Structure 1
Amino acid sequence: MSVEKIHTLVIGAGQAGVAMSEHLSRNDVEHLVLERGRIAERWRSMRWDSLVANGPAWHDRFPNMDFPGSADAFVPKERVADYFEAYARKYDAPIRCGVDVTSVERLEGRPGFRIETSNGVIEARNVVAATGPFQKPNIPPIVPKEAGVHQMHSSDYRNPKQLQEGAVLVVGAGSSGVQIAEELMRAGRKVYLSVGPHDRPPRAYRGRDFVWWLGVLGKWDGQPQAQGTEHVTIAVSGARGGETIDFRRLAAQGMVLVGMTGAYNKGKLSFADDLARNLDRGDQNYLSLLDEADAFVARNGLDLPEEPEARLLGPAVDCVTNPLVELDLRGAGVTTVIWATGFTSDYSWMKVNAFDEAGRPKHLRGVSPEKGIYFLGLPWLSGRGSSFIWGVWHDAKHVADHILIQENYLAYAPQD
């Protein structure tokens, strides 16, 4: 069987792969993008039906193409996927869909890598893993299968009608968990929400969306403050035109908040006694951003309307002052547990020296110590903004420029 040869192979045609293709094309780097599904597949098939982008359209986009419609709208997931397809067409991205990559290995005695795919073998000088962070759904092994409740990951949730009758426990209070929990509550379900440590920014303040505030306050370039803090969840929503997440308000409307999910024993699930502490931490994060915003307005003399009511927190609720430390699932009528507990990475198919002992990519702004291997689409790849669509675009430019610089070095020959 013949071996296809390409200069740079990009694996994954989500937002990272599409952005990477644009920048490689601008640098005149021959490349190919492989995608096991469709372009932006995860936006289509691994999100719930009512999901919208967490940032407004004017901000959560690539710089060279606007979303159609209102710039302040929060775009539904299908239109986000359509946007990436249109962007790929705009730059004539060489994307090959329906191809699964099964192995990446370094070639012996010469530069480059051998890539085995479901459509044959490819050799490439560079490989960009643009598969993103949503690779393997993480369901903690807490509740056994014989517990008699249906368990699913948030990536498999679509809408309330999908679930059998009964109460629902949602574990995880980041953007996905809290939006799913509120949707289920609005559909008339009894909902328990397990809340861990989180950041809780205002959706908007003094007439500006929080993404604008993070920009002018210089927070998009921020780095994790300590090991592990890069995984702290952020509770923010673009649903219903965008709203600030207030867990106490949700509790006042009927949602039962509990602390971090602990152990399961004989039909009962225990919870840590940390609910009030987690909510207080989220409130402190929220109020600190308001303080910084007010200081910025005063320092720069901006004419932005004051908003004192934004500092009013939700009411005291019984589930916080007298938190549940244990829940009898059957007794409470819980028939479904939704694990909004994120994802783990799976790079077992990349047989290269680019990972630490835990299997996590080693890189500096996407550039691996394994020459010719790059990563793109990971949270905090270069900073806080890397998790957003526009941030991925800028990360891709850095990686593409690095590939071109290395190519120029290799092309150098001393003059006679």
Structure 2
Amino acid sequence: MPVETIDTLVVGAGQAGIALSEHLGNRGVPHLILEKNRVAEAWRSGRWDKLVTNGPVWHDRFPSLEFKGNAPDEFVTKDRVADYLEEYAAMVKAPIRTGVEVLKAERLPGRAGFRVETSAGEIEAKRIVAATGAFQHPVIPPIVPQTEKIEQIHSFHYKNPEQLPEGAVMVVGAGSSGAQIADELNRAGRKVFLSVGPHDRPPRRYRDRDFVWWLGVLGLWDVAAQKPGTEHVTISVSGAYGGHTMDFRRLAGEGVTLTGMTDSYKDGVLSFRGDLQDNVAAGDENYHEMLDAADAYVARTGLDLPEEPEARKAWPDPDCLTTPLSQIDLAAEGVNTIIWATGFRQDFNWMKVDGFNERGAPIHQRGVSVEPDIYFLGLPWQSRRGSTFLWGVWHDAKHIADQIAIQRDYLAYDGSAETVTAEQITQDA
């Protein structure tokens, strides 16, 4: 049976793979997208039930298609995003093959291209794009042994309060996911502890504009690299309940107990670092930096945007912030569940090629690997701050498609590096 061949094989049919398909199609590059599950599977099964987008749909979308039937400033549900991606894939006629898992890819011996083993057979491809995204494998730190009689899940597997055992809940991680889950559980009547690490805390809206607009006009979406020392700082923002600034003092005032970063566990006691006040203060500083930058922009440009002095008024300091807990006895506090909102790791072990550092991370320039004919798409900060957002991955995808087309043009050249003399030029003339 002949082996199937393709010019460009794209692994993953999420937002990255679909965006790339549009640009590859526009450049006339034959390609195939393999997806081990359904289109946009992570949006359907890898998010909690009530999740909504963290940005309004006028902004967080592909440039070529609006969210039909949704208000521009709406924060839409996860299922609406999945439907949107399916609609987009159909619009650009993306050649997607679902239910096919890529198991291994390795270079063909003695010639260009790769042999790709899949759950549906073997494929030969001239080049490969790993469009598997930033959120591949949930990470739970090895702090509390899995043998302990307490439910431990990652935020990736959290669905709703009803799935959890009765009792209090410890949420570890105060980025967007952890903070929103803690808020949801508290509203559901659960006793909630929230472990807060370093974070950015932008205003949801300020002076009649959403923070995504401010990041745009201030040029902050296009920042190419994180500031030194902020590589592990998460962003805490929410579109839930119509979209409100994520304020940890407010959460505490509504009943959530804040703690510092989770540090260790022994004999049923969870201990925390003494950094809660510093982390909250740094988040406040980030918040006020955005307000100051916005005010300066308005003053400089003369835009008619209303002043908002209320935005600078702080909630009262809760007791858990002024007198932080150093530890809690989980059983005594009735904590039966720990939700780890502690991020993800990437896994490219299926790619049996060079081009990764000692930690297994791709070595690349804007998604173009140091390994010829290998590309990546959907990486955090792949080219800029906005690289993992719908519109950001669309622009990164265009760059990757352009690079692939350029390589195809070079390889299409069938001449030789012939020396052309002045005499030949004269004769030809």
Normalised-by-shorter TM-score class: over 0.9
* Secondary structure class of the residue paired with 2:369: coil
Q: Distance in 1 between matches of 2:141 and 2:228?
A: 21
Quote the residue 2:346 is aligned against.
345
- Counterpart residue identity of residue 364, structure 1: Q
Quote the residue 2:359 is aligned against.
358
**Aligned ranges for residues 71-86 of structure 1 at < 5 Å?**
71-86=72-87
User: Displacement of 1:228 after TM fit?
Assistant: 6.2
Quote the residue 1:161 is aligned against.
162
Matched, 1:407 2:408: yes
Q: Distance in 2 between matches of 1:136 and 1:320?
A: 33
- Counterpart residue identity of residue 67, structure 1: F
User: Displacement of 1:8 after TM fit?
Assistant: 0.1
* Secondary structure class of the residue paired with 1:145: coil
**Aligned ranges for residues 229-378 of structure 1 at < 5 Å?**
229-378=230-379
Q: Distance in 2 between matches of 1:223 and 1:62?
A: 20
Superposed CA offset, 1:19-44 (max 9, x none): 01110000000000000000000000
Q: Distance in 2 between matches of 1:408 and 1:174?
A: 44
Matched, 1:13 2:17: no
- Counterpart residue identity of residue 241, structure 1: G
Bigger Rg, which one: 2
Superposed CA offset, 1:299-324 (max 9, x none): 00000000011011221110011100
Seq. identity, %: 65
Quote the residue 1:200 is aligned against.
201
User: Displacement of 1:221 after TM fit?
Assistant: 1.0
Q: Distance in 1 between matches of 2:207 and 2:386?
A: 22
Matched, 1:119 2:138: no
Quote the residue 1:48 is aligned against.
48
Superposed CA offset, 1:96-140 (max 9, x none): 000000001111111111110000011111100000111111000
User: Displacement of 1:224 after TM fit?
Assistant: 2.9
What TM-score do the two structures reach when normalised by structure 2? 0.96
Quote the residue 2:32 is aligned against.
32
Residues 346, 228 of structure 1: CA spacing in aligned structure 2 closer, same or farther, 3 A cutoff? farther
Residues 228, 12 of structure 1: CA spacing in aligned structure 2 closer, same or farther, 3 A cutoff? farther
Superposed CA offset, 1:216-245 (max 9, x none): 000011133456633321000000111100
Q: Distance in 2 between matches of 1:271 and 1:231?
A: 18
Greater mean alpha carbon deviation, residues 309-318 or residues 398-407? 309-318
Quote the residue 1:139 is aligned against.
140
* Contact 2:134 2:388 (C-alpha < 8 Å) held by counterparts: no
User: Displacement of 1:147 after TM fit?
Assistant: 2.3
Superposed CA offset, 1:346-384 (max 9, x none): 111111112101100111100000000000011100010
* Contact 2:37 2:98 (C-alpha < 8 Å) held by counterparts: yes
Matched, 1:57 2:57: yes
Superposed CA offset, 1:40-88 (max 9, x none): 0000000000001111000000000000221110110000000000000
Quote the residue 2:427 is aligned against.
none
Q: Distance in 2 between matches of 1:60 and 1:368?
A: 27
Q: Distance in 2 between matches of 1:226 and 1:64?
A: 32
Quote the residue 1:98 is aligned against.
99
**Aligned ranges for residues 375-414 of structure 1 at < 5 Å?**
375-414=376-415
- Counterpart residue identity of residue 7, structure 1: D
- Counterpart residue identity of residue 28, structure 2: D
* Contact 1:132 1:376 (C-alpha < 8 Å) held by counterparts: yes
Superposed CA offset, 1:225-267 (max 9, x none): 4566333210000001111000001001110000000110111
Q: Which runs of 5+ in 1 are unaligned?
A: none
Quote the residue 2:425 is aligned against.
none
* Contact 1:224 1:230 (C-alpha < 8 Å) held by counterparts: no
* Secondary structure class of the residue paired with 2:147: helix
- Counterpart residue identity of residue 40, structure 1: A
- Counterpart residue identity of residue 366, structure 2: R
Q: Distance in 1 between matches of 2:224 and 2:180?
A: 26
* Secondary structure class of the residue paired with 1:229: coil
- Counterpart residue identity of residue 132, structure 1: G
* Contact 1:230 1:380 (C-alpha < 8 Å) held by counterparts: no
Q: Distance in 1 between matches of 2:415 and 2:104?
A: 37
Q: Distance in 2 between matches of 1:61 and 1:325?
A: 43
Quote the residue 2:172 is aligned against.
171
